[in-house]
Amino acid sequence: MKKLILLLLITFCYLADAHAQQDEQMSIYMYNPLYFNPAYAGSKDAISAVAVGRFQWVNYSGAPRSQWFSVHAPLLFKSLGVGGHMVNDRIGKRNRTAVFADISGSIQLSKTNQSRIAAGLSVGVDVLGFDFTNATVNDVNDPFYGMQVSATKPNVGAGIYYYGNRHYIGISSPRLLEAVIRNAQDLEKQVNARHFFIAAGYVFDLNSVLKLKPSTLIKYTPKAPLTFDVNLSLLSYERLWTGLMYRFNESMGANIAVIIKDFTIGYVYDFPINGLRKYQSGSHEIFLQFDIRTKKIPYTSPRYF
């Protein structure tokens, strides 16, 4: 019963604090920016697919579990990009599933460093819900017992993305429309809060075989404190990424990724530095990326994001 109460408290605090943190956490944001910025669609010289799985708060029952999948491709010599992404997230008795289509248009600003600026739009639906029908309680009169509520909400997102061979910066809001769901007794509600993101990174040459890539993701939600992630990654021999990450007032971690031709596999472990460290032993994240190159998509230069 104590575990159930603690799980309910964490779940409801997570939801009550929806303005501060509603979007799913992702430590390897630099490998899957299409999730939060539709302008990223078509920015690579390939058909690119990414799958990510995150297992948060290990050793705690009902902890968050999140999965992402995205795919995108350039068209018309990269002047147009199309793609889509899916999200499945569960924490305790709350779940969210989303499916979005993404489209972007871009223009080239410089041939020297292949810099382009793109604007993107995403359109899709969020399926949001709570399900306490299978919850174990001592009192059947508990107001949460048997409660089930869900809703399907359409949404749109937008973003701008400026990038070149060695740099990128983007500003976006993946969901511009806020959504609220509640049951008949108004016992619970969920505000699908509007989020804003700024992502940036740069690749430096240390020598002929080593490259250093600092990157950041700044996250803002109205009526909530500003928060951010910082990552510092080292690329060795164009084959191995290793890095360290820090999430403001929340966690620290390390990541590794191996590049095998057009296939990349990576892993991230981050551990809490706040009060939650008493209840869990960190989070694991794995990802797979596959780039399919065709003769119809011209290859211009190596890309590091």
Q: What is the mean pLDDT of residues 25-41?
A: 92
Greater confidence (301 vs 80) lies with 80
pLDDT at 101 exceeding the cut of 60: yes
CA distance linking residue 283 with residue 213, whole number of Å: 23
CB 252 within 8 A of CB 270: yes
pLDDT at 192 exceeding the cut of 80: no
CA distance linking residue 291 with residue 193, whole number of Å: 33
- Among 80-89, 181-190, 293-302, the range scoring the smallest mean pLDDT is 181-190
CA distance linking residue 26 with residue 52, whole number of Å: 9
CA distance linking residue 148 with residue 171, whole number of Å: 36
pLDDT at 135 exceeding the cut of 90: no
CA distance linking residue 246 with residue 169, whole number of Å: 19
Give all domains of the chain, ordered by start, each with its CATH number: 2-292 (2.40.160.40)
Spell out the residues 6+ positions from residue 40 whose beta carbon is closer than 8 angstroms to its own.
33, 34, 72, 81, 102, 104, 118, 120, 159, 161, 170
pLDDT in tens, 236-287: 999 999 999 999 998 999 999 999 989 999 999 999 888 766 777 789 999 9
Residue 4 — pLDDT band, cuts 50, 70, 90?
very low
CB 241 within 8 A of CB 259: yes
Matching residue, tokens 């780039």: 291
CB 20 within 8 A of CB 14: no
pLDDT in tens, 143-181: 556 667 788 999 999 999 999 999 999 999 999 998 777
